[in-house]
Amino acid sequence: MNFFETEYTIEKLRDAYQRRAVTVSGVMRQFFDYIKTRDASVGAFLEVFEKEGMERAAALDAQQDAMDPLAVLPPLFGVPVAIKDNMLYAGHRATAASKILEGYVSAYTATAVQKLIDAGAVIVGRTNLDEFAMGSSTEYSAFGVTRNPHDPDKVPGGSSGGSAAAVAGNMALASLGSDTGGSIRQPASFCGAVGLKPTYGSVSRYGLMALASSLDQIGSFAKTVRDAARVFSVIAGPDPLDATSTPYPHENLLLEGAAVKKKVLGVPREYFVDGMDGSVEAAVRSAIDRFQKDGFVVKEISLPHTRYALSCYYIILPAEASANLARFDGVRYSRLDTIPAQAGLMELYRKQKGEGYGDEPRRRILLGTFVLSSGYYDAYYAKAQKVRRLILDDFEKVFNDGVDAILTPVTPTTAFAIGEKKDDPLSMYLSDIFTIPVNLAGLPALSLPIGSGFSKENMPINFQIIGKHFDEQTILSLGEYYETYLKGRA
Ligand code: GLN
């Protein structure tokens, strides 16, 4: 059996384990060997946990040997999963791809990571990202670029570029990412993976390094919607350690075809903009047409405040980020060994922050400090909060008018070349115009491949399905329906 064919999935691996056709040790050996060759040209991982991964595999094999052969295996039994390096995993390094945290070792484990482990997953390594999850290409990592598995000259997207590339490059069957403005959905599109950004509050953020706490959400990458639903059902749920987590029961995530077909779909006029890549627009429209031809009710809708979303986000995000990053004060998480013992406070700050942060965190800390400063607070931050409310109201109005889910593009272009936008932050920011409103409104959204035959330069293109709060069921069901019945159609 070849584990590295692109169609290999968690479901198929489970089936093989259940039949005892393979062992976890055998599967993990192949994965780690494959990572060694493949990741040399992709650079998805900052660190691979091979030794402990193989030990864990042996323990899982022993666990299965002790089980009744007919017993159902735990939901992620023996599944290789990668984690974005802004999540804590006790005893392992966690850097957020920043020099300021180089050498930092996690003191505890993020709830989402712990849930993966409890469900039987093997954590294969920690993946590269834009520094502190600020960026859209993974080029803002302090530890090197990650390349798109489909074309080494192109970026994988970001900020969860390593997690997307690990799955798309067949080096893991699922991975965790975080999505504050599109960091799961955009790299999923650039790499041709499935990416789920859950509802704000569906998955505990305990142990996730905060970027913007009112926007951040942990979610996953997988190869199929069914696999994404499986990972979501494992990581979702309330957590006493995160006061914003919710007890909403996420059961029966994949509805049957007949129930799916009753869903009313909305297509927002504002999401097809001038300057968008023609091949992306054509591909997204073809996905929408396939729903329509199949008998779905598809309505044109309007989300009039969409055009303010990017500006609103780039006030709220830096404001929250500047507050969150203040904890890196050079004392609590520091590289004190690089600072002379007799250094004064200012010198400590200057060295720690001056040498520790890259340009993008620096830019955002300055912006955030500015918009929160007295005299500017009302003009920027307070106003952005009001605009955020209007953006949410737009979505609520459409949902109250009978729309069950919204279909849109994920990004205006396919993966761009490495180096193309690195020195042009504004054009980098623009790659998130279709994903940011979802975070501002706290909604769930799925990014999934449209299918072959539409990509410019043969690069993947995804579309986005946005749902109501806590209605992951509808977007996953629609996604699975598309993947099963519509994706192969012309
Ligand atoms: N690219 C966006 C930004 O730079 C989104 C980041 C994210 O979702 N973490 O802020």
Q: Could you tell me which residues come within 8 angstroms of residue 71 by beta carbon, excluding any fewer than 6 positions away? A: none
**Does residue 477 have a pLDDT over 70?**
yes
Distance CA 155, CA 137 (A): 6
Give the domain ranges of the chain. 1-296+406-490
**Does residue 134 have a pLDDT over 90?**
yes
Higher-pLDDT residue of 428, 160: 160
Specify the pairing of strand 45-48 against strand 122-127: antiparallel
The CA 287 to ligand 1 mean position distance, Å, reads 26
**Nearest C-alpha to atom 10 of ligand 1 is from which residue?**
134
Atom of ligand 1 nearest to the CA of 182: 8
- Give catalytic status of residue 311 as yes or no: no
The CA 179 to ligand 1 mean position distance, Å, reads 7
Higher-pLDDT residue of 418, 424: 418
Q: What is the mean pLDDT of residues 200-218?
A: 98
**pTM, entire model:** 0.96
The answer to whether the CB of 449 is under 6 A from ligand 1 is no
The CA 317 to ligand 1 mean position distance, Å, reads 9
How many other CB atoms are found less than 10 A from the CB of residue 20? Answer: 10
Q: Quick one: pLDDT at residue 344?
A: 84
The CA 156 to ligand 1 mean position distance, Å, reads 14
Which stretches of 195-266 are DSSP H helices? 225-235, 257-260
User: Residue type for 457, please?
Assistant: E
Q: Could you tell me which residues come within 8 angstroms of residue 234 by beta carbon, excluding any fewer than 6 positions away? A: 75, 76, 115, 116, 119
The alpha carbon torsion through 397, 398, 399, 403 (nearest 10 deg) reads 160
Distance CA 94, CA 104 (A): 6
Angle (nearest 5°) at CA 350 between 359 and 313: 35
Selection from 51, 15, 9 nearest residue 32 by Cα: 51
Higher-pLDDT residue of 488, 78: 78
Atom of ligand 1 nearest to the CA of 180: 8
Sign of the CA dihedral running 410, 412, 416, 421: negative
Q: What is the mean pLDDT of residues 187-213?
A: 98
Atom of ligand 1 nearest to the CA of 314: 10
Q: Which long-range contacts (CB under 8 A, 24 or more apart) does 454-458 make?
A: 454/279, 454/282, 454/283, 454/286, 455/279, 455/283, 455/414, 456/277, 456/279, 456/280, 456/414, 457/151, 457/414, 458/150, 458/151
| Per-residue pLDDT tens digits for 33-51 | 999 999 999 999 999 999 9
Question: Which residue of the set 159, 163, 204, 334 is catalytic?
Answer: 159
CB 177 within 8 A of CB 187: yes
Q: What is the mean pLDDT of residues 405-432?
A: 92
User: Residue type for 129, please?
Assistant: L
Atom of ligand 1 nearest to the CA of 317: 10
Q: Which of 351-360, 416-425, 460-469 has the highest mean pLDDT?
A: 460-469
Specify the pairing of strand 174-178 against strand 218-222: antiparallel
**Does residue 474 have a pLDDT over 50?**
yes
Atom of ligand 1 nearest to the CA of 160: 9
Residue whose entry in the numeric block shows the structure tokens 């951040």: 216
In the three-class reduction of DSSP (H, G, I as helix; E, B as strand; rest coil), residue 194 is classed as: strand
In the three-class reduction of DSSP (H, G, I as helix; E, B as strand; rest coil), residue 265 is classed as: strand
Q: Quick one: pLDDT at residue 332?
A: 76
Q: Quick one: pLDDT at residue 2?
A: 57
Fold of 1-296+406-490: Amidase signature (AS) enzymes (3.90.1300)
Q: Exposed, middle or buried by CB within 10 Å (0-12, 13-18, 19+), for 256?
A: exposed
Q: Quick one: pLDDT at residue 135?
A: 97
In the three-class reduction of DSSP (H, G, I as helix; E, B as strand; rest coil), residue 171 is classed as: coil
Q: Which residues of 96-129 are buried (b: 16+ CB within 10 A; e: fewer)?
A: bbbbbbeebebeebbbbbbbbeebbbbbbbbbbb
The answer to whether the CB of 433 is under 6 A from ligand 1 is no
The answer to whether the CB of 432 is under 6 A from ligand 1 is yes
- Give catalytic status of residue 452 as yes or no: no
Q: Quick one: pLDDT at residue 7?
A: 66
Q: Quick one: pLDDT at residue 1?
A: 47
Q: Quick one: pLDDT at residue 352?
A: 84
The answer to whether the CB of 211 is under 6 A from ligand 1 is yes
Specify the pairing of strand 174-178 against strand 80-84: parallel
- Ligand 1 pocket test, candidate residues 86, 131, 136, 434, most atoms within 8 A of CB: 136
Q: Quick one: pLDDT at residue 354?
A: 86
| Per-residue pLDDT tens digits for 298-336 | 999 999 999 999 999 999 999 999 999 998 877 777 666
- Give catalytic status of residue 84 as yes or no: yes
Question: Which residue of the set 25, 84, 178, 455 is catalytic?
Answer: 84
Q: What is the mean pLDDT of residues 391-406?
A: 98
Helices 24-42 & 50-65, crossing angle to 10 degrees?
A: 160
The answer to whether the CB of 181 is under 6 A from ligand 1 is yes
Q: Which residues of 132-154 are buried (b: 16+ CB within 10 A; e: fewer)?
A: bbbbbbbbbbbbebbbbbbbeeb
pLDDT band at 179 (very low <50, low <70, confident <90, very high): very high
Q: Could you tell me which residues come within 8 angstroms of residue 77 by beta carbon, excluding any fewer than 6 positions away? A: 14, 17, 24, 60, 64, 119, 120
| Per-residue pLDDT tens digits for 226-285 | 999 999 999 999 999 999 999 988 889 999 999 999 999 999 999 998 888 999 999 999
The alpha carbon torsion through 43, 128, 90, 472 (nearest 10 deg) reads -120
Distance CA 220, CA 193 (A): 10
Arithmetic mean of pLDDT over the chain? 94
**Does residue 5 have a pLDDT over 60?**
no
The CA 183 to ligand 1 mean position distance, Å, reads 5
